[in-house]
Every structure is written in structure tokens, then in C-alpha cells.
Amino acid sequence: MGEGGEQGGAINLNADDLNALLNKMLRDLALNQQRFAQQNTGTGTPAVYSFTIKMSQNGIEVVNPQQTPAEPVQPSIGNREPLVDVIENPDAITVIAEVPGVSKSDIIIASGPQRLSIKAGAKERSYSKTVELPSPIDRDSARAVYNNGVLEIQLKKAPAHSDKDDDKGNGGERKISVL
């Protein structure tokens, strides 16, 4: 990609290369959305379309579209599913959830070896979501911070051959304190 290169895991792109990369990603997304619409036309089955973008070892972006059937939503003013982003780095995973209108004491976070459950409740609204994580985590390293309606959870990845978080003797899910 032009004069851009890879140094220490970071990708350096000039403005033209970055613009070209973003345009290609947008074209790929539009193409995948068209395929998704064609597949679901007339089926009557709602679905959720999402995608992940990862950088391969040789510096090429890989876009993986995903289509999953939508879970039935129970109409409720108070119960909501928070918007969640999962960001994977080489040695850690960051989960960011939007849970406005609750206090930090109303938030309950529990972690499994490769999943995270978030529950938050207040009088007017409550949130609940379980997130499957892309890699096993070291649950002892978990740290959560809540500020202005945004919950950020930092999780270090488990070592490659660790039996530490095997579900067999760890008491199931572990709670994470919110700072």
C-alpha cells in the first residue's frame, strides 16, 4: 500500500492509502448488504447483519460479514439490550457498552472463560446482554470503569495453553467490580 508499512504492529498509511482502504471497505460493506437483502427478501425472518474487520499478518484487511437470525424482541419500555463494541488487540479485549440512565451500583458484570454478561437496572430501564468473546480471557485481570453512561471493560487474554480458566473447578462465572 504505497509508502505505508508495518512497524511494531502499527500500520502506517498516508492519507491517500487510508482513503483508498476506507473506500474499499465501504464498497465491500455495500456489496454484502445487497447480498444480505437478496437472501432475506420475502422470507419474513428478521436477521441481524454485522461484520468484523481484522488485519491479517501481511497487512491486508479481512472483512467477515455475519448474518444471524434476530432474537424475538419482547416489547418493553424498561428492558433493553445495550449497544456493545468488542475490540480485540493482540494481548487484550476491550468491551464498551452503552448503559445510560443507571448508576454504577446498578451494574452487574460476570465473566466466563470466553463470555461476558452485563446486567444493569434502574427504575425506568434495565439492560441485559451476554457477549461471546473472540478469545479466552484471564478473568483475574478484568477491570471495569463506568462514566457518563459508558461502561468500559478491559480484559487481558489468557495465555495460549492455560487451564487456569477451565470451567471445571472455577465456580462458573466470576463477578467483575465496576470502578
How crowded is residue 157: how many other Cβ atoms within 10 Å of its Cβ? Answer: 19
How crowded is residue 128: how many other Cβ atoms within 10 Å of its Cβ? Answer: 15
pTM for the predicted model, two decimal places: 0.56
Q: Cα–chain-centroid distance for residue 85?
A: 4
Mean pLDDT, residues 65-77 taken together = 60
- Using one digit for the tens of pLDDT, what is the confidence trace for 43-59? 555 666 676 777 777 87
- Block residue for cell numbers 472483512: 63
Q: Cα–chain-centroid distance for residue 132?
A: 8
Q: Where are the domains of the chain?
A: 5-69, 79-176
Name the grid cell of 35. 447480498
How crowded is residue 121: how many other Cβ atoms within 10 Å of its Cβ? Answer: 16
* Tally of CA atoms within 13 A in the half-sphere of 112 that contains its CB: 13
Residue 32 reports pLDDT greater than 80: no
CATH class label, 79-176:
mainly beta
